[in-house]
Amino acid sequence: MAPTLRGADILARALARAGVRHLFSLSGNHVMPVYDAALEAGLAIVHVRHEGAAVHMADAWGRLTGEPGVALVTGGPGHANAAGALYTALAAESPLVLLSGHAPLAELGRGSFQEMAQAELAAPVTKRSSTAVEPAALGAEVTRALGTARAGRPGPVHLSLPLDVLEARVEEDAVVPAGVAAPAPRALAETDADAVLAALAAARRPFVITGPVMAHARGLEDCARLAAATGAPLVCMESPRGVNDPCLGAFAEVLREADLVALIGKQPDFTLRFAAPPAVHADCRFVVIDPDRAALERALKTLKPAHRVVFSGIADTRAAARALAARARPHAARDWAEAARSAIEFRPPQWAGLASRPGEPLHPVEVGRAVQQVLDRASEPLLISDGGEFGQWAQATVTAPARVINGPAGSIGSALPFALAARLARPAATVVAMLGDGTAGFHLAEFDTAVRAGLPFVAVVGNDACWNAEHQIQLKAYGRGRAHGCELLPARYDQAAAALGAHGEHVSRAADLPDALERAIASGRPACVNVTIDRVPAPVVTRGAGQRGGVEH
């Protein structure tokens, strides 16, 4: 008799051949054959406490390695729990594959256990969403999914795995070849690159703006090479705060002065105020390069009238950046580049002297100052930032060569899963996650995962006992007397983390924070440093008048 393989074995072997090392997963009935097949295939399973956390971990893995992370969840409610996290990855242009168990094909339409239209549910938040039907083709399908996740504008891909497809046996010689998981990037033609570079050279105040994919893996190195080669100032936008991203300092002020903006893999969307005045000067011209034709057409509609666009073309973002850098000559407007750099690096000098009084909660700037000292001493620092107002203070006050943030989706709750995946992707890194107390509540149980998996990191929770982003909206829009529904308890997240096996620290005085952070790192365990902070709005950095402490209110 010819040897046979289960569909699950074909799937697992294809994942291993494609270089996948870890599956971020929560177990369930429909995926047990994959768990079994993973043993022979050498796939390690990181078993989480919530399906959404598995997707967030795959997301962070994709951003930090450039290779798609793979999440494996069960069908029905497991798939539904995972689907919400896909939007964060989609907006952040993060490559991942979600594999979801599924009711058997033979039982569909008859009320099968956990039967659900899973592919349809995931379709709006993925690049491609489908359901496997042929056991012999499972290897080819998952290889295709990995390639689709990486190609063009990277993003999440979903494949549902019916139980009977996973359990069916196929003769080895009938298995469909898996193919190659890495399609060649679409390059920018030399003539097109020269046209873009000519437009940059003709401008007096050019700006290059890239999308979030350039903040992943080695994308920042490509950004640095492009900026050096052209001499034009460059920013990578990956925050829902857009032009008012405090990480970019007073960027909004200099953007208004630009006479040409080259959008490389960056849409003129809400983050750029749709490229309309006053965010961008009415006479500003644009270059638009995008990997996706539909996205390019949408951008061109946004940028009407047509004379505003001096060049448009289709190319993968990183490939376009490399092509431009290879053929560029430095721009002559050095004064403009220096002015832009100075604005982006600007932080209000008042921040250096901000300090809480005895008995008062810490200002977020004090927390950022202490965390920066920790990261400055680390040989391989890595920052995770998530949350509303505290997350913005973290990004404004703390820098690291590598970071993962919640991204343009504006979602929260991903910090702890991000930190676990970061520690797994970069085992030598000092990983510090800064997150608000609202965010902490989403996936606090993942401290259990971190302890079981032996993944030490430090979570710094800014605790103002409030959904402060929404609270600040209420104060501004409706007044203090109508602010409600945003209160939280001043909970001891450090104690909750300790109950899950982590190291816990509680800090209510600024003087105690540096030592608490050092103890957390020295513990060699997952750690939670719970810091009582003041309930202040996120910064909008400006160098103009009408401000308090360099923060617009």
Q: Is the dihedral of CA 93, 97, 101, 106 positive or negative?
A: positive
Q: Are 48 and 54 in contact (CB under 8 A)?
A: yes
| Residues found in the chain | 553
The pLDDT, as a whole number, for residue 330 is 77
pLDDT digits (tens, 9 = 90+) for 500-550: 999 999 999 999 999 999 999 999 999 999 999 999 999 999 997 434 334
Task: Please report where in the chains the tokens 């699950």 appear, as a residue.
Answer: 8
Measured CA to CA in angstroms, residue 345 lies from 207, 339, 399 at distances of: 16, 10, 11
134 vs 168: CA distance, rounded Å: 9
Return the axis-axis angle of helices 138-150 and 7-17, rounded to nearest 10°: 40
Report phi then psi at 64, rounded to 5: -85, -25
Could you tell me the pTM of the whole model?
A: 0.95
Q: Could you report the average pLDDT of every consecutive run of 10 residues in the chain (553 residues)?
A: 88 96 96 97 97 98 97 97 97 98 91 92 98 96 96 97 96 83 84 96 96 92 94 94 94 96 97 96 97 96 95 96 92 86 95 92 97 97 95 96 94 97 97 97 98 98 96 94 95 98 98 98 97 95 58 37
On the 0-12 / 13-18 / 19+ scale of CB atoms within 10 A, 195 is: middle
312 vs 263: CA distance, rounded Å: 9
pLDDT digits (tens, 9 = 90+) for 376-415: 999 999 999 998 999 999 999 999 999 999 999 999 999 9
According to DSSP H, which parts of 66-184 are helical?
A: 77-92, 118-122, 138-150, 163-167
Q: Tokens at residue 35, please?
A: 């768990």
**What separation, in Å, do the N-terminal and C-terminal C-alpha atoms of the chain show?**
76
Measured CA to CA in angstroms, residue 432 lies from 368, 461, 526 at distances of: 11, 11, 10
| 276-283: long-range contacts, CB 8 A cutoff, minimum separation 24 | 279/243, 279/252, 279/255, 280/255, 280/256, 281/256, 281/257, 283/259
What 3-state class would DSSP assign to 471? helix
377 vs 503: CA distance, rounded Å: 21
Q: Rounded to 10 degrees, what is the CA torsion of 460, 465, 469, 474?
A: -170
The pLDDT, as a whole number, for residue 376 is 97
Task: Please report where in the chains the tokens 């999914």 appear, as a residue.
Answer: 145
